[in-house]
Structure 1
Amino acid sequence: MHEGVSTGGLYHRAPVGSDVVEGRGNAVKKLLLFALAAIGGLLVYRQIQADRAEQDLWTEATDSVPAGTGV
């Protein structure tokens, strides 16, 4: 058992090995969630870009005035 350290009348125990591992576990979970959110955001962004490109292609293909005619 770890002895408490007195700081102004309050006692705090030194972190035990499991506390340190739990802290690292929380950091890993946060990092994983951040990575998943970033990947999800990237996938959504790429899908939006693909949809815009397809819409531009359809607009160009169905435009009644050909591009570059200056009308």
Structure 2
Amino acid sequence: MGYHRAPDGPITFEEGRGSPVKKLLLVALAAIGGLLVYRQIQADKAEQDLWTEATDSVPSGSTGA
């Protein structure tokens, strides 16, 4: 990436294409990051469900009558 002056024209911006290996690595890292975030959310939800069950004032099997 960089700016350059065309031989007989205005200043243009040359967009680098990047290596396919770098792009694949970036996609893989993004997928791994997404998986880690998903697993953390699931763990937090499971912990919250456990706390809700442990602190529930009405036992699960009660009918109330």
TM, length-normalised to structure 2: 0.68
Greater share of helix residues, 1 or 2?
1
- What does residue 69 of structure 1 align with? 62
- What does residue 51 of structure 2 align with? 58
Structure 1 residue aligned with 2:32, among 39, 50, 62? 39
Aligned residues: 48
Q: Can you give the 5+ residue segments of structure 2 that lack an aligned partner in the other structure? A: 1-16
1:69 shift after superposition = 1.6
Equivalent position amino acid for 1:59 in 2: T
What SS class does the counterpart of residue 30 from structure 2 fall into? helix
- Percent identity over the alignment? 81
- What does residue 17 of structure 1 align with? none
Spell out structure 1 runs of 4+ moving beyond 6 A.
Answer: none
Q: Which has the larger radius of gyration?
A: 1
Q: Can you give the 5+ residue segments of structure 1 that lack an aligned partner in the other structure? A: 1-22
Q: Does structure 1 residue 27 correspond to structure 2 residue 46? A: no
Q: Does structure 1 residue 49 correspond to structure 2 residue 12? A: no
